[in-house]
A and B are shown apart, each in its own frame.
Chain A
Amino acid sequence: MRNGCDAMTRHLRDLRVLLPFAVLIAIWWGLKDGFGISDKLLVAPPLVWSAFGTLITRGILAEYASTSLSMIGIATLISFVVGVPLGFAVGTNRYAARALEGFLRYLQGISGIAWLPLAILWFGFTHTTTLAIVIYTLIVPIIFNTMTGVRAIPENYVLALRSLGASRLRIVTDVYFPGALPSIVVGTRLGMGYGWRALIASEMLVRQGGLGDLIFGARTFSQIDRIMVGMIAIGTLYIVVDRLLVQPVESMTLARWGVLRK
């Protein structure tokens, strides 16, 4: 009986999440019909739904989405493999840290998109261009957070291990890595957020597939229904990846090793 009750409340909670969307869709529909807004500007919800059906059944949405997802996946992997060791190198050496901190901050001010025109000149309208932009966007926060994570580790931890006779490698595996891990995960999550946005923007201009291409291409033919399906897909995929994949890892490391300050 108790279980039944719990399940009921859980379902009610799920519905509460959907309720504001229902309200929003009602307002959207009301505005569309009430003001007689042209289909070239906004389409009614059923049209979006049927466009969604078409894009799914023809496999178009899956194709564009998988391009975007594989791009962000590859970019994250490369950035992580290159960025984390770099961050360690910089974080454990105070000269390197001093030299690079300001430079990395400056780079953060130049968004990946600002390099897009140059990347197009260098690599043409290809996936390489998009990948370069997304890696650039992703890797800076990863290096930066790894560096800050390493530097936030109290020196006493290192000294204590050294006094126990630990080797340098041991100190890295037992102190630096676990100590910096929460910060690395936070940096990766942030980077993926920035990277996803840079990816969409880059796809809009490079036009070689991906969800950005889908919505920007639909613009050319004023296919508002397709644009909206694409936008919903972009938002949903981001939330799914962020909440179901990345956030659990973040909470796990944070809960396990405690929050390194705020």
Chain B
Amino acid sequence: MMGRIAWKLLPAAPALAILFAWWVYWTIVQPPPSVIPSILDVVRTGAELAFGGRLAGDIVASMGRLLGGVAFGMVTGMIAGFIAGLWRPVADFFNPLVVFFNAISGIVWLPLVIGWLGVGNALATFLIWNTVFFIVFQNTVLGIQLVPEVLEQGVRSLGGGRWETIRSVTLPGALPYILSGVRSGLGFGWRALIAAELVGATTGLGQLIFSGSEYHRADIIIFGALLIGAIAMLMDRWLLAPIERRTVVRWGLVAASRGR
């Protein structure tokens, strides 16, 4: 009985250990709060930000950019991925470009595109789109190429034409890969967004933590970083896991709760 409870609580252990070490360090060394704040400072700052209204605005700004960029990247990535996946010559022709632009996707574009779009939502959305597009594209192509040929042959022998084969075989067959592309796309998009907001925006969580470093407020940075991780985790759990449970897990194509 004791063992079961301990086993259940085990995942909380690292966080508790860090909090404890932090508290011990802080009480013994008493570092300046601009370098290492006390736990209490971080909690208090978090509450102030939350109730002061600034935080909600930053979260909304970041989430809006994220959703816009991810949705755009997903749709374009899937469409391009389907075209390349269904027509081999198209995929072969574009492959070198995909390899190259994938290597510089995301934040690398910032210095160039900041001149085109200026600081703000458009820039952040572009950088997220650019990150998500390649991940979703490559996963879609891979997913389509890995659908077993025998499934297509089966439907064709039932009299299904090309469109029927795409609809009933290719699309659901590629779905596990597309979803895992969307899943990691969302994760990468989130990273790209924070990076983009550090210099390419005036609001958002990235700006929040960046302003923390300008005003020497380590408490703001730590609170912001922890919040960024929490949001990433919740998005994965509440947005994507349910979609997977209802489709690919139900069809027995992938096991539940699989990692990246």
Cβ–Cβ contact B106 & A197, under 8 A: yes
The segment from B66-74, B153-161, B162-170, B211-219 found at the interface with A is B211-219
| Size of B's binding interface in residues, CB under 8 A | 56
Cβ–Cβ contact A118 & B100, under 8 A: no
Complex partner residue of A219 from B10, B111, B216, B231, CB under 8 angstroms: B111
Cβ–Cβ contact B94 & A117, under 8 A: no
Closest-CB distance, B241 to chain A (whole angstroms): 12
Task: Report the separation of the CA atoms of residues A200 and B228 in the bound assembly, to the nearest whole angstrom.
Answer: 21
| Binary CB contact string for chain A from 166 to 209 against chain B (1 if under 8 A, 0 otherwise) | 00000000000000000000000000000001001100110000
List the B side residues contacting A235 at CB < 8 Å. Answer: 100-101, 103-104, 108
| Size of A's binding interface in residues, CB under 8 A | 55
From 123 to 143 in chain B, residues with beta carbon under 8 angstroms from any chain A beta carbon are none
Given A235-B104, A239-B99, do A117 and B212 touch, yes or no (CB 8 Å)?
yes
B1 at the interface (CB under 8 A from A): no
From 220 to 251 in chain B, residues with beta carbon under 8 angstroms from any chain A beta carbon are 221-222, 224-226, 228-233, 236
Complex partner residue of A113 from B15, B195, B212, CB under 8 angstroms: B195
List the A side residues contacting B221 at CB < 8 Å. Answer: 115, 117-118, 121
Cβ–Cβ contact A114 & B224, under 8 A: yes
Complex partner residue of A118 from B7, B93, B218, CB under 8 angstroms: B218
Task: Report the separation of the CA atoms of residues A98 and B206 in the bound assembly, to the nearest whole angstrom.
Answer: 31
B147 at the interface (CB under 8 A from A): no
List the B side residues contacting A115 at CB < 8 Å. Answer: 221, 225
Cβ–Cβ contact A110 & B103, under 8 A: no
B22 at the interface (CB under 8 A from A): no
List the A side residues contacting B112 at CB < 8 Å. Answer: 215, 219, 224, 227-228, 231
Complex partner residue of A41 from B10, B116, B225, CB under 8 angstroms: B116
Cβ–Cβ contact B96 & A110, under 8 A: no
Task: Report the separation of the CA atoms of residues A219 and B112 in the bound assembly, to the nearest whole angstrom.
Answer: 7
Cβ–Cβ contact B115 & A219, under 8 A: yes
Cβ–Cβ contact A99 & B14, under 8 A: yes
A35 at the interface (CB under 8 A from B): no
Given A21-B97, A224-B112, A234-B108, do A114 and B194 touch, yes or no (CB 8 Å)?
yes
11 contacts between A and B (CB under 8 A): A20-B93, A108-B187, A109-B190, A111-B194, A117-B213, A121-B35, A197-B107, A231-B104, A234-B108, A235-B101, A235-B104
Residues of A within 8 A of B (CB): 16-21, 24, 40-41, 95, 98-103, 105-111, 113-118, 120-122, 144, 148, 197, 200-201, 204-205, 215-216, 218-219, 222, 224, 227-228, 230-231, 234-236, 238-239, 242
Residues of B within 8 A of A (CB): 7, 10-11, 13-15, 34-35, 92-94, 96-97, 99-101, 103-104, 106-112, 114-116, 187, 190-191, 194-195, 198-199, 206, 209-210, 212-213, 216, 218, 221-222, 224-226, 228-233, 236, 259-260
